């Protein structure tokens, strides 16, 4: 069983000399829950914030945030 835990750190050898990476904090400053009594109230709020909201909307950014798509990005060695 001792070999199992040694294998968990195989990546350290591969990452030697790699440039430092700092992830920017993209979390929100604050969030709130808003409850609507009727569909009409939801529609009014949607119009007020100028964003499409439906009964299935779980969250929105205000103002509208540009969400970057990174699933099609790769970082590869130039050689």
- Side-chain half-sphere exposure of 72, counting CA atoms within 13 A: 2
Summarised one tens digit per residue, pLDDT across range 21-61 is: 888 898 999 999 999 999 999 999 999 999 999 999 999 99
Banded model confidence at residue 13, pLDDT cuts 50, 70, 90: confident
Among 33, 31, 32, 55, CA closest to 42: 55
- Write down the pTM of the prediction: 0.59
Q: Which residues contact 3 (CB under 8 A, 6 or more apart)?
A: none
């Amino acid at each position: 069983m001792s070999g199992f835990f040694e294998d968990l750190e195989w990546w350290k050898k591969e990452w030697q000399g790699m440039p430092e990476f700092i992830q920017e904090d993209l979390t929100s400053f604050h969030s709130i829950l808003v409850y609507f009594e009727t569909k009409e109230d939801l529609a009014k709020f949607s119009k007020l914030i100028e964003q499409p909201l439906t009964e299935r909307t779980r969250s929105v950014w205000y103002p509208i945030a540009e969400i970057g798509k990174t699933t099609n990005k790769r970082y590869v060695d130039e050689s």
